[in-house]
Amino acid sequence: MPATITSTPYFQKHQLDPNPTSHIETSSLEYLHAAFLLYEYKTTYSKKEYRTLLNTYGWDKGSSEEKRALKIAENFQEFLTCPQHLAPIPVTILLRLCSLQYKPIISQLQDYPIGGLTCELVLELIEERKALLKTQKQEQEKEISIWRRTPKGDRYCQFPPQWEEDHQTGVLTQELIDGYGLLPQQILREAIADYHAKIKSQEKEQPQEETAESEVVESSMLPQLETSLTESEKAIEVNSRLKQNEQTSTSNPKEQQVVGEEVLMLVEKLKLSTSYHQIRSAIYRHLAVKDEACQQLSPEEQLRIERLLPQEVLALKTARDNGLIIDYYELETGWFQVFIADENKPVSVSKSNIIIWLQEQERLNCVTT
């Protein structure tokens, strides 16, 4: 029914703030308080005490509402001291971020200051994550490959994230790291070498007529391990030639047009970026044309973008400019692959340790000098 002059608006009738967004934020914050309280009760009291407490408050233990609240509290423990940071995000969106495919976004939310998060921004992160997962799935369907290249053209292998319900791979790896002082790269190298030897040994033990059948199964399990070194080197050589051909003046005009459009696309994304996450996401999608796009930015835009970079990235840029490191590459996980002199493979350094690591490199460099 349309409003009339004599009708009283809803917010006046109930003495409310006329801004509906403020009520959503209040609702989300109150729900977060309830979730964190519930999680604290569950992890502090015994099962019997917890059940008695819920009965006292009139909350049905085992209900779907309890499970949803505990799920949010468990996944957003990093925001325990500042739940107001998540207030602009509706509860339905918070629950969506708790899913396996969108959970990595939660850690990204910490990069924004309190008051800097909006529902629109989080939905944008979800769409970017969805697009990334779709691209990864399409690439896996075409050809599974662990090989990557640095901006300098050096080759290295990168394994996809390991999603498991029981987290077995991560748990066992962490035990080996903590208990025996092993590096993740060392553990992975030894494990794959042992598995490769096991597969090869089984092939030799099987009758010749059964080998053909088993190769079909094994090749689907370990497609990269079945590729000979010669074939891999040939593939690398072909890729190198293709890259050189793209850089020559005799390149296909249609290919040049595609590259030019991608450069313009990245330039536009960088100009519209208002956070480091948006910058990193844009560059990650258009890594091949990063240098060309940056060159087309005005000095003012370059300075504005530089101010959005976290101190870890700025420290790496300074280290590269000063010759302390050769180059660096940031992974989607937040870790850095850093290339240094006299090393034929990159060094993996976490974001939280990069400053200390660079200081140690400076000290070692001074000692060496």
Domains in the chain: boundaries: 10-140, 252-309, 310-369
What tens digit of pLDDT does each residue of 179-190 get? 888 888 888 888
The whole-angstrom separation of Cα 51 and Cα 148 is 52
What tens digit of pLDDT does each residue of 17-70 get? 787 777 888 888 999 999 999 999 888 888 888 888 888 888 877 788 888 999
Q: What is the per-residue pLDDT for 73?
A: 92
Helix, strand, or coil here: 166? coil
Mean pLDDT of the chain: 77
Q: Are 282 and 273 in contact (CB under 8 A)?
A: yes
Q: What is the per-residue pLDDT for 149?
A: 82
List, as own/partner pairs, every contact residues 71-79 make where C-beta atoms lie below 8 angstroms and the sequence separation is at least 24, other chains included.
71/95, 71/98, 72/31, 72/32, 72/35, 72/98, 73/32, 73/35, 73/36, 73/38, 73/39, 74/39, 75/103, 75/106, 76/32, 76/35, 76/106, 78/106, 78/107, 78/110, 79/32, 79/109, 79/110
The whole-angstrom separation of Cα 54 and Cα 59 is 5
Q: Are 289 and 262 in contact (CB under 8 A)?
A: yes
Top pLDDT among 290 and 119 is at 119
Closest CA to 132 of 102, 159, 100, 157: 102
Lowest mean pLDDT among 245-259, 308-322, 339-353: 245-259
This prediction's pTM: 0.40
Other C-beta atoms within 10 Å of 316: how many? 24
Q: What is the per-residue pLDDT for 2?
A: 52
